[in-house]
């Protein structure tokens, strides 16, 4: 064999073996891992979009001077907790960290649902174009979050399956030995129960020791008067 032929032999072997290795799924794990990470980035983007809308929503509702402050405070606090959860690339492979992230976002979803239920009782807000636009955007964000979570779960299911099935399981235990299963979104305990609001508790006339003069939503109560009841 000539020196030239001996040099070509390793190259020819690579050319022949590369398609065979690819056909055995050696590239499947990193490819599907990157797809799942991209879907995770979509989820985070949609949650961030919702978080960015909430300050404007809160300011609009506060400007309407509604009597119910507890639910509004819950939204503010839930947003702070949701945006305060530290998210790293390892979060989707850490069950505890992923659960904290999902729980915080779930609390914010519930708080927003309760707030939107409360403001339905305020005609002033329901005719406020700024509020209506924000409400539409918030509801749109919830829908986008749902779609993003579904797409992420499907990408993770595909990736996790690849780690456990033949022949790719061989690569998962050798060349791609550092690849770990990713976590999926699940229905939280809060999501199993529709949010409720006790509107009787918002009515000053039902509280011990007092009544309140009728005041239209959005107007300030008279000096010395307790908070007015929401218009039903």
CATH code of residue 114: 1.20.1440.20
Whether 21 is in a domain gets the answer no
Whether 42 is in a domain gets the answer yes
Q: What is the pLDDT of residues 148-176, one digit of tens each?
A: 999 999 999 999 999 999 999 999 999 99
Could you give the C-alpha distances from 7 to 3, 4, 15, 138, 143, in angstroms and in order? Answer: 6, 5, 14, 64, 59
Give me the number of domains the chain comprises: 1
Whether 6 is in a domain gets the answer no
For residue 226, give the DSSP letter: P
Q: What is the pLDDT of residues 25-79, one digit of tens each?
A: 899 999 999 999 999 999 999 999 999 999 999 999 988 877 778 899 999 999 9
Dihedral sign computed on CA atoms, order 11, 12, 13, 15:
positive
Residues 129-146 have a mean pLDDT of 95
Lowest mean pLDDT among 4-18, 78-92, 136-150, 209-223: 209-223
Whether 106 is in a domain gets the answer yes
Whether 209 is in a domain gets the answer no
Q: Which two tokens stand for residue 95?
A: 């069950």
14 pLDDT band, cuts 50/70/90, is: very low
Whether 196 is in a domain gets the answer no
Q: Which domain holds residue 76?
A: 29-185
Whether 229 is in a domain gets the answer no
What is the C-alpha separation between 54 and 35, in angstroms, rounded? 30
pLDDT at 1 over 70: no
pTM of the predicted model, to two decimals?
A: 0.74
Q: What is the pLDDT of residue 6?
A: 52
Whether 8 is in a domain gets the answer no
């Amino acid at each position: 064999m000539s020196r030239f032929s001996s040099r070509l032999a390793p190259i020819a072997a690579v050319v022949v073996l590369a398609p065979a290795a690819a056909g055995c799924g050696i590239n499947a794990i990193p490819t599907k891992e990157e797809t799942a990470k991209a879907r995770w980035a979509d989820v985070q983007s949609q949650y961030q979009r919702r978080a960015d809308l909430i300050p404007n929503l809160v300011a609009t509702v506060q400007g309407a001077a509604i009597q119910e402050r507890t639910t509004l405070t819950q939204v503010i606090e839930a947003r702070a907790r949701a945006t305060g959860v530290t998210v790293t690339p390892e979060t989707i492979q850490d069950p505890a960290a992923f659960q904290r992230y999902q729980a915080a976002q779930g609390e914010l979803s519930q708080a927003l649902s309760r707030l939107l239920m409360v403001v339905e009782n305020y005609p002033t807000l329901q005719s406020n174009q700024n509020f209506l636009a924000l409400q539409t955007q918030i509801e749109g964000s919830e829908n986008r979050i749902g779609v993003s979570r579904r797409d992420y779960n499907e990408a993770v299911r595909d990736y996790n399956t690849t780690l456990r099935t033949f022949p790719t399981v061989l690569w998962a235990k050798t060349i791609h030995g550092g690849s770990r299963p990713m976590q999926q979104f699940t229905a939280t305990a809060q999501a199993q129960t529709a949010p409720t609001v006790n509107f009787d508790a918002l009515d000053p006339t039902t509280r011990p020791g007092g009544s309140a003069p009728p005041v239209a939503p959005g107007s300030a109560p008279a000096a010395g008067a307790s908070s007015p009841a929401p218009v039903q």
